[in-house]
Amino acid sequence: MIKDGDFHSQLPITGSHEPCGTVVEVGSEVQGFKKGDRIGTLPFMHPCGECPDCKFGSYIYCDKMEGAMGISTDGAFGEVSLLIYERLRVLVLCLRSKVVRPFTRLALI
């Protein structure tokens, strides 16, 4: 879809819009995460915080969203990705670890 121009993405762009991985570094102001945590995130980068959906906590429906990972900004298929920690969730693995293989290393900002 990106290659076909559906999202009007600036090319070239690094793909992957719903990453999961292992934390390799944590910024000084980050709370609730530590090195080694397995985490995942949704791709939405900058919701407005003021619209009814944002105030309700459903920022993924924000009409004024600015940026989506892997669509309008680089995604997580790079060697390391910088992520906004407020959007992250620690993954609880239900499968044997040899089946679940995170594909990237993540540094939290």
Question: Which parts of the chain sit beneath pLDDT 70?
Answer: 92-109
Tell whether the torsion through CA atoms of 69, 70, 72 and 73 is positive or negative.
positive
pLDDT of residue 52: 93
- As a whole number of angstroms, the distance between CA 46 and CA 69 comes to 10
- Topology classification of domain 20-108: Quinone Oxidoreductase; Chain A, domain 1 (3.90.180)
Please check whether residue 58 is in contact with residue 81, taking contact to mean a CB–CB distance below 8 angstroms: no
How many angstroms separate the Cα of 44 from the Cα of each of 28, 38, 67, 100, 105?
A: 23, 19, 6, 24, 19
pLDDT of residue 107: 52
**pLDDT tens sequence across 85-105:** 777 777 765 544 444 444 445
Please check whether residue 45 is in contact with residue 32, taking contact to mean a CB–CB distance below 8 angstroms: no
